[in-house]
Amino acid sequence: MTIRCEIVSQDRTVFAGDVDIVVLPGAAGEMGILPKHAPVLTTLKYGIIKVRKGGKEEIFTVAGGVAEVQPDIITVLADSAENVEEIDVARADAARARAEEALAKGVPADADAYLAMEAALRKSNLRLDAARRYRKNTRSPYSEQ
């Protein structure tokens, strides 16, 4: 028995397929979703989505959004989502450096600009940590050896 999982970001479908279990970073904590789960609507925090089918697991980063769970489908509408294997480590590291530099200059007068810099730092740290912990490609400078 499987459950359909669809992970959609603002610009593309990141994943779509039938799976055995999905683990989501819900606002109230990590949630494991199996087929025939009771209907749930939850917001998502920055974190990792794990999708398992058989012995294979795919890992995705998610930077906020919502998930709707129905007995036969999970729909994730993510503010930002990415397969950990697709993370451009150099780009994420450069984004982290830019955000840290901007935040080091002090709090800007514009609260929205400050929140955007803070979100960019959180997202780049999430991406770098996910690449280091979960990426199968051992050539990455952030992967464990």
Please give the structure tokens belonging to residue 65.
Answer: 């959004």
Residue 121 CA to residue 34 CA, distance in Å, equals 33
* Cα–Cα dist 62/82, whole Å: 7
pLDDT (0 to 100) of residue 137: 59
Tell me phi and psi for residue 115, to 5 degrees: -65, -35
pLDDT at 110: 78
Band the pLDDT of 141: cuts 50, 70, 90: very low
- Tens digits of per-residue pLDDT, 90-115? 998 998 998 888 888 877 677 788 88
The pair of structure tokens assigned to 72 is 């036969």
Per-residue pLDDT, 136: 73
CA dist., res. 59 & res. 134, Å (int): 7
Task: Please name which of 23, 18, 24 lies closest in space to residue 2, comparing C-alpha atoms.
Answer: 18
- Express each pLDDT in 39-64 by its tens digit: 999 999 999 999 999 989 999 999 99
What is the pTM (predicted TM-score) of this model?
A: 0.83
pLDDT reported for residue 43: 97
Q: How far apart are CA 114 and CA 109, in angstroms?
A: 8
Q: Chain-wide mean pLDDT for the chain? A: 89
